[in-house]
Amino acid sequence: MNHIELRALDDDDLDAIFEMMRDRGAIEMAAFTAQDPDDRTAFDSWMARHRADPDVQSFVVTENGGFAGTIAAFTVDGDREVTYWIARHAWGRGVATAALRLLISREPIRPLFARAAAHNTGSIAVLTKVGFTEMSRNVDFAPGLGREIEEIVFTLLPSLDGLGGG
């Protein structure tokens, strides 16, 4: 099994994150992405806002010490949400599942929410594997696809052990 860790995001990670988030196949899966994934200025502004916000907890996901993606917890309209983006080279090996388990073990607020495009079967599998359950579905505009698509909202409720699933 590969060793998965979460570590603080630093300036040296920005190039790798920008490149990862430009991967057209990953954009197709994530769907709810930047309007223009090639706009480095917009990316840098977005990252600066999130890094300056004490409510956003962002981490780099590492696999055996190497960059494998990002994961974060943040609040939207009073609800605590999680998001992750795993680099293509780390897909299908349990990296997202392990990283999400680590994040939810550190995040005390419940319920937690997550969203996934309805066609993103990999992300849906990760969320359900760690204990998230489907709460609702809606149709929303997906900038990565340039059209409206179905989005699934998931929730992770408190569990008896206090860790909430997984």
In this prediction, residue 158 carries a pLDDT of: 86
148 band by pLDDT with thresholds 50, 70 and 90: very high
Whether the CB-CB separation of 11 and 18 falls below 8 Å is answered with no
Q: Kindly report the pTM of this predicted structure.
A: 0.91
Fill in the amino acid letter for 90.
A
With 50 as the cut, is the pLDDT of residue 163 above it? no
Helix or strand run (H / E) with residue 80: strand 79-86
Percentage of the chain surpassing pLDDT 70?
Answer: 95
Q: May I ask the CATH class of domain 4-156?
A: alpha beta
Whether the CB-CB separation of 96 and 126 falls below 8 Å is answered with yes
Rounded average pLDDT over 156-164? 64
The whole-angstrom separation of Cα 166 and Cα 164 is 7
In this prediction, residue 14 carries a pLDDT of: 97
* pLDDT tens per residue, range 66-121: 999 999 999 999 999 999 999 999 999 999 999 999 999 999 999 999 999 999 99
The whole-angstrom separation of Cα 18 and Cα 21 is 5
Helix or strand run (H / E) with residue 121: helix 121-129
